[in-house]
């Protein structure tokens, strides 16, 4: 059985097609990997790449992606609604066919060492790649954005990066590298401009606010649409499904007297997370069956 690893880098660029095309070409130029998907979002000013292949090839492709992104993106002048600390903000490795979490943890540490040493960018390991007890969580690293992380790094101690220098790169910031299971990025758009409503709903449904298990959520504005959005990460879709998340948002919108405009899946998700019978109830405006991970793997000849 061919070993497959997935990597889903989140890049702090969602508006410049030339830069994004250049980054895609870098990935596609590495033998042994397939770029399955790109989700470009100009409001979040962020693009999510989905890369799959053998472990060594994926490691090579992602390093090249980081190297070129540093040349293309200046985070010091970056403005977007999504919190971020790096030009390449987040790089999670996920085990697929024949791969283990331990192998993905090693890939995260290898990438971190290469980026820290060769590109002089501080790297923070998170989730299962972190050696700390308890392990670092992504939201803690990104709290307060670029400025917040810079201040914490100045204190040293637990805020020393795992690899690289003790200060942020002048234009690339830092990189968060992790190993994890599947995460479903899911957004629900509300038919209102009132950001406070989206933020209140996000607070009520996320785990840290006493809401659903395995849910991280935030309310953000979408200037291009004149709407607001509840942006969620479902860190365990078996505990909280897409349908569960949608219903929770819907119940809250009814309390505030607003309607759901639509919802969207960011990137790809495994078939088990998207039962076909639930799709029609999620108010997807642009549902595409190719967003099912297994479908794309078959199309790419990897399954």
Q: Minimal CA–CA distance to 233: which of 208, 256, 257, 258? A: 208
Helix (H) or strand (E) holding 215: strand 215-222
CA–CA gap between residue 67 and residue 92 (Å, rounded)? 17
Question: Hey, which bits of 145-183 come out as E strands?
Answer: 175-179
Helices (H) and strands (E) in the chain, counts: 9, 11
Q: What's the CA gap between 177 and 186, in Å, rounded? A: 21
- How far apart CA 115 and CA 68 sit, in angstroms, is 12
Say if residues 254 and 214 touch (Cβ distance below 8 Å): no
82 counts as catalytic: yes
Which residue in the list 39, 44, 45, 82 is annotated as catalytic? Answer: 82
- Residue 149: name the closest of 129, 172, 167, 170 by CA: 167
**Catalytic positions:** 82
């Amino acid at each position: 059985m061919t070993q497959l690893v997935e990597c889903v880098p989140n890049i702090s660029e969602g508006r410049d097609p030339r830069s994004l095309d250049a980054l895609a070409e870098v990935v596609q130029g590495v033998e042994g990997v397939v770029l399955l998907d790109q989700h470009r979002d100009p409001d979040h000013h962020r693009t999510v790449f989905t890369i799959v292949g053998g472990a060594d090839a994926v490691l090579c492709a992602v390093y090249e992606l980081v190297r070129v992104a540093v040349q293309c993106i200046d985070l010091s002048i970056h403005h977007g609604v999504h919190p971020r600390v790096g030009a390449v903000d987040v790089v999670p490795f996920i085990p697929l066919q024949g791969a283990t979490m331990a192998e993905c943890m090693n890939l995260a540490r290898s990438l971190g060492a290469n980026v820290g040493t060769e590109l002089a960018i501080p790297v923070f390991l998170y989730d299962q790649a972190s050696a700390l007890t308890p392990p670092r969580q992504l939201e803690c690293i990104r709290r307060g954005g670029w400025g917040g992380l810079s201040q914490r790094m100045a204190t040293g101690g637990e805020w020393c990066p795992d690899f690289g220098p003790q200060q942020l790169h002048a234009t690339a910031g830092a990189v968060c590298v992790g190993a994890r299971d599947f995460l479903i990025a899911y957004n629900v758009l509300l038919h209102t401009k009132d950001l406070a409503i989206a933020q209140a709903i996000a607070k009520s449904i996320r785990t840290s606010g006493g809401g659903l298990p395995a849910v991280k959520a935030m309310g953000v504005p979408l200037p291009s649409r004149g709407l607001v959005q509840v942006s969620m990460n479902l860190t365990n879709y078996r505990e909280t499904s897409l349908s569960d998340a949608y219903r929770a948002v819907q119940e809250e919108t009814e309390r505030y007297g607003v309607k759901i405009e639509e919802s969207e899946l960011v990137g790809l998700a495994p078939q088990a997370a998207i039962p076909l019978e639930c799709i029609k109830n999620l108010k997807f405006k642009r549902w595409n069956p190719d967003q099912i991970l297994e479908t794309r793997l078959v199309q790419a000849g990897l399954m």
